[in-house]
Amino acid sequence: MYRLIPLLLLFTITLSHADMPPVLDSARQTMTEYFHDLLHTIDDTIDCEANCTHPEIERVRANKLHLITSLQSTENHRLSLSLNLRGNIYLPKLSKKFRITFTKQSNTQQINREVDRENENLITDNKLRIGVQYIITSTKKVEFFTRLGIRLRNPLDFYQEVSARKTFALYKEYGLLTKGSLYYYITHLYLAKSLQFTFFKPLSERYYLTQGNEWYSNSDNRHERHLVNYLKLHQHLDLRNHLEYWITYASLAQNSTSYKEDWHALSLSYIHHFSKWYYLRITPRLVQKREHRFRTQYEATLSFGMILGK
């Protein structure tokens, strides 16, 4: 796989200097219309013509859907294609306290933080999750909410989530983001828990640093407890391009055993934004895993992101 990485880099650099073809932008606009029409139908707010500027209709049209198509290398050096979704939908008739959320992402992207966890704090599979979120309180620095969701699998898996998030301003521009979540899976009767502590510090106009610590536990999976630590440097090259360099270290404990090294990775991401609606990301990485006796593996992910919205 490592022989393909220079070719992927060359392809990414070449593509980043190209414009989006008109047919793709036309397709995005068409999908956006279908997406908003579906939300209109769900909310039952269309009582006028399509060009109506009714406030409720305008609020529905403000919703966005994030689609990410990824080409990933696998452990056996084969390629796999996946579609990842992220949405946080506001519908006027649900009141300002409610959101409809849905998330789907691959295991590789979850491990390497290529899709953020704004909607789901604890995702350890690649199943589509749909939920109704009730916001108890939400400010710029504090958020507390509960969510009733469905994990689409066979059989359907219902779960109840309670999450809290708070941002602290620390000494001399240092910041701390904390988040905790409890998941109760109603169908299979087990509890999942997670905690996050992320420190961040601007270094200059072009650089900032984050250090993250995440812990999560699933009581249905041999009482495994996972601990993930990472250090990431963000570099803004210009308005459309930036780089991310990071190192990740993960530990695993089962039942009453102590934590042992599970895997670690060294990664680099190049992100190019064609516009506010499209971006391209390539992430080559070196990974060593316990299950492979810490043999060095070369992996890469090429992702194309598109946002449906206006």
Q: Mind listing the pLDDT tens digit for each residue in 264-306?
A: 999 999 999 888 889 988 888 888 888 888 888 888 888 888 9
Q: For residue 169, give both structure tokens.
A: 């301003």
The pTM (predicted TM-score) of the whole model is: 0.79
- The identity of residue 310, as a single letter, is K
Give the separation between CA 271 and CA 300, rounded to whole angstroms. Answer: 14
Reported as a single tens digit per residue, the pLDDT across 200-253 is 999 998 999 999 998 888 766 567 888 889 999 999 998 889 999 999 998 988
Contacts 24+ apart (CB under 8 A), 87-92: 87/63, 87/119, 88/118, 88/119, 88/133, 89/39, 89/63, 90/59, 90/62, 90/63, 91/39, 91/42, 91/43, 91/60, 92/43, 92/45, 92/56, 92/59, 92/60
Q: What domains sit in the chain, N to C, each tagged with a CATH number?
A: 4-308 (2.40.160.40)
Give the separation between CA 105 and CA 138, rounded to whole angstroms. Answer: 26
Give the separation between CA 124 and CA 110, rounded to whole angstroms. Answer: 8
User: Which of 123-137, 151-165, 198-212, 261-275 shows the lowest per-residue confidence on average (mean pLDDT)?
Assistant: 123-137
Reported as a single tens digit per residue, the pLDDT across 25-77 is 888 899 998 888 888 777 765 444 444 556 677 778 888 888 888 888 766 66
Residue 220: the pLDDT is 62
Distance of CA 3 to the CA centre of its chain: 28
Residue 234: the pLDDT is 94
Give the separation between CA 234 and CA 237, rounded to whole angstroms. Answer: 10
Coil, helix or strand at residue 89: strand
Residue 91: the pLDDT is 79
Of the candidates 272, 277, 264, 265, the residue with the CA atom closest to the CA atom of residue 303: 272
User: The tokens 């169908």 sit on which residue?
Assistant: 187
Q: For residue 121, give both structure tokens.
A: 């704090």
Residue 119: the pLDDT is 42
Query: Do the Cβ atoms of 197 and 217 come closer than 8 Å?
Result: no
Q: For residue 96, give both structure tokens.
A: 């300002």
| Type and span of the H or E element at 52 | none
- Is a pLDDT exceeding 60 seen at residue 99? yes
Residue 197: the pLDDT is 92
Residue 115: the pLDDT is 43
Tell the burial category of 34 from Cβ atoms under 10 Å away from its Cβ (0-12, 13-18, 19+): exposed
Mean pLDDT of the chain: 80
- Is a pLDDT exceeding 70 seen at residue 132? yes
